[in-house]
Amino acid sequence: MANGTDVRSNIVASQIDLHKKYGGVVPEIASRAHIEHLDAVIEEAFSEAGCEVGAVDALAVTNRPGLVGALQVGVTAAKTLSWAWKKPIIGVDHIRAHAMSPMIGLEASPWPAIGLIVSGGHTSLFDIQSTTDIELLGATTDDAAGEAFDKVATILGLGYPGGPSIQRAGDAGDANAIPFPRTMLKHGSLDFSFSGIKTAVLYHVHGNGKTTGGLEKLSTQAIADIAASFQQAVVDVLVKKTMLAVAQTNRSTVVLGGGVAANRLLRESLKTVCTDRGLGFHAAPMPYCTDNAAMIAALGYHLLHGGATSDLTLDAFPTGSLV
């Protein structure tokens, strides 16, 4: 990577098919699949990049936040290779890496910028001053946006993961059909809350106070309308809060990253609002929205050049370093 944004290969071993039938990630299965696929993924990454071990400057590995069992597999493998190949190792916070993902492929650095990072476990607004200087402005107080997509997809009997299946179902629906709540919390707050809308969808489907019995009575069109209206409500909140962060900080650029950044309505809505207001806007390229190696390497590059390497005591943590 010449400037931390030039990707030679980005191999993703998707586990979606393994977890689909359970409607969510099963930690034990996830760790096991990491062990089974890691060797082949590393080999493929070298072969697609067309490079040998000798050309590697360092190994970057995510060690937080996430499922510790799965993280531990990656960290142990990276530590072993670091020792065997005599290359430095760099532990990377994967949410910080999501925040860096919009810069992949850009000629010039987009910082400073407001970053909206939306994933299955996080929904956060950051003031990003540089690749390593990131301040948390607000975060979800309950469910993350991606988690809400996943839970609502389960309520609607749509497939896992919820984000893509809600988007697909919503394409045939009316986004104005149901006025789901847009929770903004107290005046000026940059925090989020998505548990209310999840409950609103649940009761809309089954009837007030009920949690079963309603889905079978809904037509495909009714489900499409709920999916589209839910998606619109979540995107409205995300866009509004991002503009609030811009107003409070006077930043002139917005970046978007994380799994939910793959959502078409969110990408288009944020782009339109930013263009209307004369703000710069960079969404992570689609391959770098959901969890991926390139964003870990991109941040790892900058940490390496800033001298922030780790050592063989590197450990995995369920929580992030941004608080």
Query: Residue 188, by phi and psi: left (phi above 0), alpha (psi -120 to 50) or beta?
Result: left
Range 282-301, binding ligand KG4 (CB under 6 A): 290-291
Q: Which does 263 bind (CB under 5 to 8 A by kind): ligand KG4, Zn ion, none?
A: ligand KG4
User: How far is 51 from 5, CA to CA, in rounded Å?
Assistant: 17
User: How far is 75 from 45, CA to CA, in rounded Å?
Assistant: 17
Distances (CA, A) of 223 to 56, 168, 178, 196, 215: 50, 11, 11, 19, 9
Phi, psi of 41 (to 5 degrees): -65, -40
Q: Is 233 in the site for ligand KG4 (CB under 6 A)?
A: no
Give the residue, chosen from 74, 91, 115, 146, that forms a contact with ligand KG4 under the rule CB under 6 A.
146
The helix/strand/coil state of 86 is coil
Query: Closest separation between CB of residue 146 and ligand KG4, Å?
Result: 3
Range 53-72, binding Zn ion (CB under 5 A): none
User: What token pair was written down for 123?
Assistant: 């929904």
What's the one-letter identity of residue 115? G
Query: Closest separation between CB of residue 2 and ligand KG4, Å?
Result: 26
**Per-residue contact string for residues 167-206; x = within reach of ligand KG4 by CB under 6 A:** x---------------------------------------
Query: Closest separation between CB of residue 83 and ligand KG4, Å?
Result: 28
Give the residue, chosen from 262, 283, 294, 299, that forms a contact with ligand KG4 under the rule CB under 6 A.
262
Q: Which stretch binds Zn ion (CB under 5 A): 57-65, 124-132, 264-272, 288-296?
A: 288-296
Write the DSSP symbol of residue 284: P
- Residue 287 contacts by C-beta under 8 Å, 6 or more apart in sequence? 10, 12, 294
Q: Is 260 in the site for ligand KG4 (CB under 6 A)?
A: yes
Which residues of the shown chain bind ligand KG4 in the complex (CB under 6 A)? 119-121, 146, 149-150, 161-164, 167, 258-260, 262-263, 290-291
